[in-house]
Structure formats: structure tokens, C-alpha cells
Chains A and B, each alone.
Chain A
């Protein structure tokens, strides 16, 4: 199934190796944006599965953008580049459901790890499809 990804960053170059890793998966379709406004606009048009944020956007912080995004569509997965220590990152993004913290200038291997994580969550969600309940 096609995975539709938005790469959102002021600095596209810093995500180049990561993007190359994503593109190795033929089922991945990427769109580049540099602002929160453009990311939210793309999400509003639908069919987005994942938004990957670089360190900065031109008009807002990535955390602010995720806060807006999950109000519009909480089902979209988000990942974020951050140089913070793990605990500080967790504290800063608690409750936002960030799938994975990416290191500055993430690699193709980081892209593959993120795709694997998305697959694992899809399996977890798929495993619930047969769960019962009261009628």
C-alpha cells in the first residue's frame, strides 16, 4: 500500500540522505514543504500517512505544527529531527505521539528504521481488526 509522506523542513539539504532512503521503497510517495502552513494544508487535503519534520520550519516550530496537525487528523504519524537528549525530547513532545526522534541530518538507515516502525504499528492495528465487542 502506498505510503504518502510529507517532508517538512526549512533546510531540505539536511534531509537529503533520509529522503534517499525513503525513495528506496517504491511504495513511498514524498512531498517537500518548508512551512507549517504548507504541511497543514497538505494534511487538510487528505491521504497523508506520515509527516517528517526537520529541525526548523520557516513559520513555526515543528512541535507547534504537530500540535495543530493532530487536532486536524490524529491518525497521521509524525517523526521529528531533534538534537535533544532522549528524555528532554520525550518531555517536550509528551502526548503528541511522535513515532520516532531522528538525529540531525538523518541517514537512509534512519529512514528504513522509521518505515519498519510504521509497519510494526500497522501490524498492531491490523491485529485488532478481528477484536470483538458488545453489539
Chain B
């Protein structure tokens, strides 16, 4: 049985009918969508962790601890992106839609691309 956990940086209380946060590091909560064989089995949320400037590995570690496999972001810096790659979390890029549900459904359908290095925030890539 293939089990996958997707994380969506979210505003407010999150959830499948919630709204995405534009930047993963500053979201209120992460919405977790657990899939089994491509079907949604469970949706849950966890609060983001407070972290200071330069502490962008803290949310990377948080998602790794929660065994996330895939993350969909609208924006992310190069350092945390490299961190996610290092811990084996695939990062996908979608910066057009605020709603969580259609983005999750598109990810499941394979219609959300993996983020490219030139799509990160800052570092000359704005």
C-alpha cells in the first residue's frame, strides 16, 4: 500500500477547504493530506513553529519529523528548498491559486510541477 503525506502551507485553521499561505515559512499551519494508493484517507493540520531570521531549517525539520513526502509552495527560499531536498521531501510549485483543495487534487493527478531552482524567492530569482 503506497502511503504519501502531502503538506500545504496554510492560512488560519487550514484544512482541505482552507486557503494556502503564499510563503511556506510564514504560514499559520500546515495542512497534511494523507493518501493511500492515490486516495485521500485523512486530513489534519499542525501549527507552524516560531522561528527567527535565519532559522528556516526549523520548518524543514518540522515537516521531516512529521514524515511529509511532498510539499506544495507558492514561494520558498533557496536554503530551505535545499534543506527539503536533503531530507527527501519533494517540493512542488503552484503560485496561482489560493484554495487548497484544487491544488491537492491537481497534485494527485500529477499536474503540479516540481519546483525549479530559478523559481525560488530572492538570491537574484525574484
Q: How many residues of B contact A (CB 8 A)?
A: 32
The interface stretch among A28-36, A41-49, A51-59, A69-77 is: A69-77
- Interface residues of A, dominant DSSP: mixed
The interface stretch among B10-18, B52-60, B101-109 is: B52-60
Q: Would A134 and B5 be within 8 Å (CB), given that A74-B79, A128-B61 are in contact?
A: yes
Q: How many A-B contacts if CB must be within 8 Å?
A: 99
The CA of A93 and the CA of B126, in the complex, are separated in Å by 11
Identify A133's interface contact among B55, B67, B78, CB under 8 A.
Answer: B67
B9 at the interface (CB under 8 A from A): no
Contact with B along A62-94 (1 / 0, CB 8 A): 010001001101110111000000000001011
The interface stretch among A5-13, A17-25, A119-127 is: A119-127
The CA of A74 and the CA of B77, in the complex, are separated in Å by 11
Q: Would A97 and B79 be within 8 Å (CB), given that A74-B86, A125-B58 are in contact?
A: yes
State the Cβ distance, A100 to closest chain B Cβ, in Å. Answer: 7
In the complex, 18 of the A-B residue pairs with CB atoms within 8 angstroms, ordered by the A residue number, are A70-B79, A71-B78, A73-B86, A74-B80, A75-B86, A94-B77, A94-B123, A95-B123, A96-B122, A97-B77, A98-B54, A100-B54, A124-B52, A127-B49, A128-B58, A132-B65, A132-B66, A133-B67
Binding site for B on A (CB under 8 A): 63, 67, 70-71, 73-75, 77-79, 91, 93-100, 117, 120-121, 124-125, 127-129, 131-135
Binding site for A on B (CB under 8 A): 3, 5, 34, 49-58, 61-62, 65-67, 76-80, 82-83, 86, 120-123, 125-126
